[in-house]
Amino acid sequence: MDRLRAEYSVKSRHDGSHREELEVIREACDHPVETLVQIKRDLYTKRLFLEVGIEFMDFYGHLLPVCDVELQEELTDAFLDQVLELTLHL
């Protein structure tokens, strides 16, 4: 979660949507239990997942994939990663 917060803090765009996304991340970090409950509810009931956009940056020697993922999906991935990491280390 700290990595996700840091990524959004250093992004170059500073428009309204960026501030809203950063506020959602801060809320998720400040209230992890409520966020986890919401994620679990979404995973149990939502059966449909958002599409991930992929573009490639061409460096003439190799291609670098660049993924466009919705914020809610990034939060879900970050929380699940953290929970699984803690579970596996117990």
| pLDDT (tens digit per residue) in 11-36 | 555 566 777 877 888 888 888 888 88
Query: Are the CB atoms for 78 and 3 separated by under 8 Å?
Result: yes
Dihedral (Cα; 10, 67, 63, 12), 10-degree rounding? -20
SS3 44: helix
Single pTM value for the model: 0.60
When divided into structural domains, the chain yields a total of 1
User: What are the pLDDT digits (tens) for 32-44?
Assistant: 888 888 888 888 8
SS3 54: strand
The residue range of the domain holding 52 is 2-88
